[in-house]
Amino acid sequence: MTFLQTLSTLIGWTYFAVWSISFYPQIYENWRLKNVNGLSVDYVGLNITGYICLCIYSTAGYLDKSLDVGTIHNEDLAFAYHGLFCTLIIIGQMIFYPLGDNKLSKFIIVILVILWTLTPIYFLLTQTFDVIDVSVNYNAYRIIGYDKLLISFIKYIPQVYWNYKRKKTIGWNIWVSLLDITGGILSVIQTIMDQFIYDDNNEINPVKFALGLLTIGFDSILIFQHYFLYPPKKDTQVMDYVTMKDNGLDDI
């Protein structure tokens, strides 16, 4: 293994660790407040679909190099399944903890229905039964990866809007964004490094690269909201927490 390959592996497992850890502050926040009103249901609904897509895309690319979905590292595969696992935990919290006025919007429901309907049909026509012949750039697994990209682009918007609507970020743990943006930067660096390591024009993982850029962009907005637009005040946080306890934990 060359020095660049070793460095790439180190960066890869570091991004995996940072991105994986980024799930737990929100899980802890939900448990601490015994309330999930600060976390957008739309965000979680999109997230579970996105990680299912990422697991399928990463597993297929890892097991079958001929699918040409780009380089899939061990840590990419581990992150996809770990992300799915953590999102399932958050969904469990949403079942048991009060949601308040937080609910899945009709717009997101329409998007999810379209994705869960059209993607399987496309997979059956192009991959299973080979009824439609498509180029490698539009094979079924790449489309599933593009679904993840679309979801990642959309999923941050509800949380940004939810913070804007409430004019506060209480209930959204800022460490999620801080760790997330760090993992995004490392993921992009690793993807760029792969271009120098592997002498193959098809080695780039377009979904992973784009996901890293999207993460950096939207987390920057969330961080800006938290520290500059709606900076949390200690007294306000304490009062909100006491109010939630006195009112069934549903007043955020």
Q: What is the pLDDT of residue 3?
A: 87
Of 60 and 43, the structure prediction assigns the larger pLDDT to: 60
- 239 has a pLDDT exceeding 50: no
DSSP letters, 183-237, are: HHHHHHHHHHHHHHHS--TT---HHHHHHHHHHHHHHHHHHHIIIIIS---HHHH
List pLDDT tens digits, range 112-135: 999 999 999 999 999 999 899 988
List pLDDT tens digits, range 137-190: 889 999 999 999 999 999 888 889 989 999 998 888 899 899 999 999 999 999
Q: Which two tokens stand for residue 240?
A: 């909100």
Contact 242, 26 (CB under 8 A): no
Cβ neighbour number for residue 168 with a 10 Å cutoff: 22
Q: Which two tokens stand for residue 165?
A: 């609507």
List pLDDT tens digits, range 46-79: 999 999 999 999 999 999 988 888 889 999 999 9
Q: What is the pLDDT of residue 143?
A: 95
Q: Which amino acid is located at 118 in the chain?
A: L
CA distance linking residue 44 with residue 57, whole number of Å: 20
Q: What is the pLDDT of residue 225?
A: 95
Buried b (16+ CB within 10 A) or exposed e, 134-148: eeeeebbbbbbbbbb
Contact 177, 223 (CB under 8 A): yes
Of 232 and 192, the structure prediction assigns the larger pLDDT to: 192
Q: What is the pLDDT of residue 158?
A: 84
Average pLDDT value for residue range 190-199: 82
Closest C-alpha to 91, from 120, 141, 145, 52 = 52
- 237 has a pLDDT exceeding 70: no
Q: Helices 24-33 and 174-197: crossing angle, nearest 10°?
A: 170
- 103 has a pLDDT exceeding 80: yes
